[in-house]
Amino acid sequence: MDEVHRDRLRRRYRLRRLRRGEGRANEGQADPQDPLAENPEEGNPAAGDAPPRQIRPRRVHPRRNWQDEVWQIFPEDGDMDDGDRQDDDALQLMERMNGDVHRPFLPREENHRQEPPQNGLEQLEEQLERRRSHRPHELPFPFITRGEFNISRSMIKECSKPWNNISWTIKYEAKVVDSNCHYGRFFVTFSGMGENAYKIITSLKITKVTVNTSDHIEQTLIFDKNHRTLMFPDIMLTSQSRVDHVMNSPHLNMIFTIHHAEKVDEFTYDGQSWPMSDKWVNYLDKCAVRMNTNQLHVHNPHLDLLLGDLKIGILSQNEAKAFYEFAGFLCHRWYIGTEKLHDILVNGFKLGFTEKWDLLDTPDSGIDFNAKALLPFYHDFLEEEPKQQIGFETNSPSGVCQIFELRMNPKEVHCRTQVETMRFAREHRGQFTFYFEDTPKGTLLMMGAVFKLDGRQNAKMKITLFEHGVKKAVNTSYRIIHEQQRTYGTVVAHLSEEQLTILAKNKLSVGIQLHFHHTDANFIHTFRHEADFSSPYMMPGPCNGWIECNDGKKIGVNKEFVSKHSYQLNTLFNNNMFADCGLSTIKVNEASDIVLYCLEIMYHKSLAINFNNFKRILDLAGYWLSDTIKRYIEMAVVHTDKIDPADKLELGIFYDLDMIKYVARHPEYASSFNLNISEEERACVAIPAGNELDGGPLGRQPVENL
């Protein structure tokens, strides 16, 4: 046999054994499994044959043997790589690069789609990057996600490979303040946790641009179905940094790493460390969270006093829990899409977080309709005389037409809302939020809009529901939009089981046709027959129930929606135990204008209330047992300067407005909601009720008893 050919075959057999995981202990010796070594007549040095050529140690080729590195690259759209990578120390890395160690492949179920890296240097740099935290990892950690984001466009990247059924989505929100300042923000949303809670250690590194922070230290958070979002601080881009970097390289390079994750018994705030944190916020020895207090200080000038009282236990357990929940919303946007968000924001206002909310009140802020409508400046009184708009002028209106494909799921908390930005319509800007309302009769699809308009506008909104691109329902309604009432709410549809199935396939969409026309009026009605002003009034969206007022006028409503926001209306519309209940038409002993005020608060979540009528609205809200209406009027009362502080306290006591009573009891925390009242007046509310934030079994105690 030719000597060269024989050597090639010998090396081939030897490589096969090495790939099967067999060692190199017999390197250079006769191989008992080598068929070429069994024939002594071939290759015998004593017979004058050439001595066998020494086989050099096998070296790793950076491209041909890339799988021996036992880590995978998973590109998505060409600019994001996700991977499960095994971690080795620096010595093992260099040995493997020199070919002295062989590492078997991962099991097939542990691998993603495999793509070879570009070169060996890139392999080395990526593995060294994974070691920047200098901490040990257990397989399969760490998970590294790389992405490239355009600095001027919001983008979303989804992880293709979950861990333990948990996946994550990385979203970059681009903001433009003006021509001299841009900023952006990264969100990471986890899903697939079910009813479990997980402790996850992460970090984020941003490169290629001068930012306020380019390398975040590790964060430790606990996630569950109600706490699944991780929000990183803003990335500020000044005019100089834009000139230096954006013009030359309009992209951000991001490296997001999950260093470790483990299942825990339940969600708890204790022990968490949030991004860009500057101090530990403690409640006695029961809870400690490391957070960015500068972010909280923006909204509460008395934060230092509040944190001091929290640390020594002056605040009750309920108050401490309310503080941490509010901080979770502010720092990570937790609880958006849940009904609990209303109570969390109200508790935050009680603790003094009432200033500079205009920083978040932008059309592209990402905060949804229900959260924005709770901010202090969405509740106000109107001192103008009522002036009705009749009809809609059609000459030269401004408007916008958009169709949105719904990517929502009523069973998943993080998929219960979808926020979209309205296209520019002249100087008008806005934001649409699609969300669900759960009722005993099924699920309602809702739409809420928040506007920033140029002047006072008569808004005509036409909502069209599409199934598989086919029009199924159309509703048209009107509202006057101005600085003191700039929201628009409507019921889109009462979803059937078939429509929920279509929604799950992303085949349900909503079209919005919106037209604006300048007006001097401050209210307008939507009539059942648009051209017949004597026909019954209609609230926005499909109507299947009627409210008959004591002045003889009827108002069409969605029974399921109003029943959700009023215990009394739920009984009147749906209870069949009494003769006057369970009907499609109910009677209310109040004038139609007061009933319309209450219904507009339910639907639109904001209303410029005529100052002379707010007590009648509070009376009807009490009869209807509607927390939605009561909460709105309380917010309007507590921050208005049209009512004396003593009168505010009297209203709080008479109508049981617990925010006013709390602010009166604890003026040391109040900022813009402060009540300048005497100690004698304050003594009237010194003892909290059992259902108040600082009352009940978990209420406040004297410091010496703690």
Contacts of 646 (CB under 8 A, 6+ apart): 677, 681
Residue 541 DSSP code? S
3-state class (DSSP) for residue 154: coil
Please answer whether residues 204 and 255 qualify as being in contact, where contact means their C-beta atoms are separated by less than 8 angstroms. yes
Maximum pairwise Cα distance, the chain: 124
3-state class (DSSP) for residue 313: coil
Mean pLDDT of the region 586-613: 91
* Beta bridge mates, 185: 173
DSSP β-ladder status, 181-191 and 167-178: antiparallel
pLDDT for 495 equals 94
Q: Is cis: bond before 104, omega within 30 of 0?
A: no
* CA atoms 17, 19, 23, 26: torsion sign: positive
Q: What are the phi and psi torsion angles at 221 (to 5°)?
A: -135, 160
CATH topology match: 66-264 vs 384-524: yes
Distances (CA, A) of 618 to 235, 345, 496, 552, 608: 44, 21, 35, 22, 15
Please answer whether residues 229 and 333 qualify as being in contact, where contact means their C-beta atoms are separated by less than 8 angstroms. yes
Terminal alpha carbon distance of the chain: 93
pLDDT, tens digit, for every residue of 306-349? 999 999 999 999 999 999 999 999 999 898 888 888 899 999 99
Task: From the options 4.10.1240.10, 2.60.210.10, 3.40.50.300, 3.30.70.270, give the CATH code of 66-264.
Answer: 2.60.210.10
pLDDT for 582 equals 74
Residue 44 has pLDDT above 60, yes or no: no
Residue 103 has pLDDT above 80, yes or no: no
Which carries the bigger pLDDT value, residue 565 or residue 67? Answer: 565
Where helices occur in 77-217 by DSSP H, the ranges are 90-97, 120-130
* Beta bridge mates, 264: 197
Report residue 60's pLDDT band, with 50, 70 and 90 as the boundaries: very low
pLDDT for 702 equals 52
pLDDT for 177 equals 53
Please answer whether residues 626 and 566 qualify as being in contact, where contact means their C-beta atoms are separated by less than 8 angstroms. yes
Residue 492 has pLDDT above 90, yes or no: yes
pLDDT, tens digit, for every residue of 612-665? 889 999 999 999 999 999 999 999 998 888 899 999 999 999 999 999 999 999
pLDDT for 160 equals 59
CATH second-level architecture of 542-685?
Answer: 2-Layer Sandwich (3.30)
pLDDT, tens digit, for every residue of 538-591? 999 999 999 999 999 999 999 999 999 999 999 889 887 766 677 889 999 999
Domain ranges of the chain: 3-47, 66-264, 287-378, 384-524, 542-685
CATH second-level architecture of 384-524?
Answer: Sandwich (2.60)
Contacts of 625 (CB under 8 A, 6+ apart): 566, 567, 568
Q: How far apart are CA 495 and CA 563, in angstroms?
A: 16
Best CA proximity match to 595, nearest among 537, 665, 531: 537
Mean pLDDT of the chain: 78
Report residue 14's pLDDT band, with 50, 70 and 90 as the boundaries: confident
Q: How far apart are CA 685 and CA 223, in angstroms?
A: 38
pLDDT for 185 equals 82
pLDDT, tens digit, for every residue of 339-381? 888 899 999 999 999 988 888 887 767 788 988 888 888 888 8
Q: Is cis: bond before 116, omega within 30 of 0?
A: no
pLDDT for 640 equals 86
Q: Copy the structure tokens of residue 465.
A: 């529901």
Could you tell me where the beta strands, DSSP code E, fall in 167-271?
167-178, 181-191, 197-207, 219-223, 229-231, 235-238, 251-264
Best CA proximity match to 650, nearest among 603, 623, 617, 615: 615
Which carries the bigger pLDDT value, residue 547 or residue 15? Answer: 547
Please write down the HEC assignment for all residues of 135-146: CCCCCCCCEEEE
In this structure, the number of other CB atoms found within 10 A of the CB of residue 697 comes to 8
Q: Of how many residues is the chain composed?
A: 706
Report residue 88's pLDDT band, with 50, 70 and 90 as the boundaries: very low
- Identify which of 108-117, 160-169, 564-573 has the greatest average pLDDT: 564-573
Best CA proximity match to 183, nearest among 211, 207, 160: 211
Report residue 91's pLDDT band, with 50, 70 and 90 as the boundaries: very low
pLDDT, tens digit, for every residue of 202-235? 988 877 544 444 445 688 999 998 898 999 877 7
